Amino acid sequence: MSLDADDDQSNHVESDDQPDLPEGDGPDRPEGDQTDTSEGDARGGYRLVLKLTHPNCWMNEVTAETDARLLVNETYLVEGQVKTHVVGYAESSAALDDLVRATNASEHTASVTEMYSRREFGSDSVLSNKAHRSLLVEYEPEGSIYDALVSRGFLPQEPVRIRDGWEYWTVAVDDPRSKIQERLDAVCEEKDAVIEIRTISSRGRTDSPSVNVELLTDRQREVFEHAREHGYYSVPRAVSGSDLADELGISKTTLHEHLRKVEATLLGGD
C-alpha cells in the first residue's frame, strides 16, 4: 500500500481481538493528508502522529477499562524488564483510583510503585485541574511497542498519550516517505499491532505552520486535532462546525468555545 497524498484508500494490520477498523493490510493513511512530497521524499524528514494499539499492553488495557488516561514520561530497559514512568490523570479521584487498581491487578504488570509527581513533567497544562498520580511500572518487553518503533527510526517528539485503549505517538522519522509504509508494516507484523497515521507532514511543508499543542489541555488538543485532520481549517473548509460537533458528540457552541480557547492559546489572542 502507498502513503501517496492522493491515494484515497486506508489500510492497516489488525489482529482478531483489536477494535474494528476499515479492512486492509497496513497502517491507516491520514484522512485529508495534503503533504507536499516533492521535496520530502527526496531527503526524508517527516513528523507523524500515530494512533495505535497492540496486544499484551497494560496501558491500553487499563485506559480501556477506566475513565482515566496516561502520559508516558520515560521508558527504560533494565535487566530484561521494561520500566516506565507514567502519570495517570482523570477528572475525579475515584476514576484515578480505578486506574491504579487496574494497573496493580493487570496480568501484564510485574510491579507498580507510586512516586512523587514531577513538576518538570512535560505536559503540566494537560494535568492542570486534574487528579493525577505518578507511577513507576515494571513489565515484560512483550507488552511494549517502544523498541519496535524506535529501532526502525520513529523517534518520539512528545510524551506518549494513552486513552480509551489507544496510544497516541508524535514521532519524527528521517526516511523517505516511500520507506515509512514499509517500516510501519514491519512494526505491525512484529507486534500484531493496529496503527493509524493520523497526520504526516514534511520539513518543507508550508501550508500547516508548527504549533505547540503541549500548551493545550487534553480536551482542547483532542478537539483541535480532530478539526485540523478533518479539514476545518482548510480553504475552502472541508467540514462544517455542526458536522464536526456531531462527530465529537458535543454541541456546536461547545465546539466553538473549545476552538476559541485553542486559537487564543496558540496564536496569543485574548
- At 24, which amino acid appears? G
Confirm if 61 and 198 have CB atoms less than 8 A apart. no
- Across the chain, what does the average pLDDT equal? 78
Query: CA–CA separation, 48 vs 195, rounded Å?
Result: 12
- Give pLDDT tens digits for 105-123: 999 999 999 987 555 444 4
Confirm if 62 and 46 have CB atoms less than 8 A apart. no
What is the arithmetic mean of pLDDT over 122-143? 79
Which spans in the chain are helix H? 37-43, 58-65, 93-105, 124-127, 146-150, 177-191, 218-229, 241-248, 252-267
Could you tell me the fold of the domain covering 213-267?
A: Arc Repressor Mutant, subunit A (1.10.10)
The two domains 58-143 and 213-267 share their CATH topology (first three levels equal): no
What is the arithmetic mean of pLDDT over 35-40? 42
What is the arithmetic mean of pLDDT over 43-69? 91
Could you tell me the fold of the domain covering 58-143?
A: Gyrase A; domain 2 (3.30.1360)
> DSSP string of 110-169?
SEEEEEPPPTT-TTHHHHTTSEEEEEEEEE-GGG--HHHHHTTT-EE-S-EEEETTEEEE
Q: Is the pLDDT of residue 126 over 60?
A: no
3-state secondary structure of 54: coil
Q: Is the pLDDT of residue 66 over 90?
A: yes
Task: Tell which wins on pLDDT, 247 or 205.
Answer: 247
- The values of phi and psi at residue 100, to 5°, are -65, -40
Q: 90: closest CA among 117, 70, 114?
A: 70
> According to the model, what pLDDT value does residue 125 have?
52
CA angle 70/257/160 to nearest 5° reads 20
Confirm if 12 and 24 have CB atoms less than 8 A apart. yes
Q: Where are the domains of the chain?
A: 58-143, 213-267
Q: 158: closest CA among 119, 112, 211?
A: 211
Q: Is the pLDDT of residue 22 over 60?
A: no
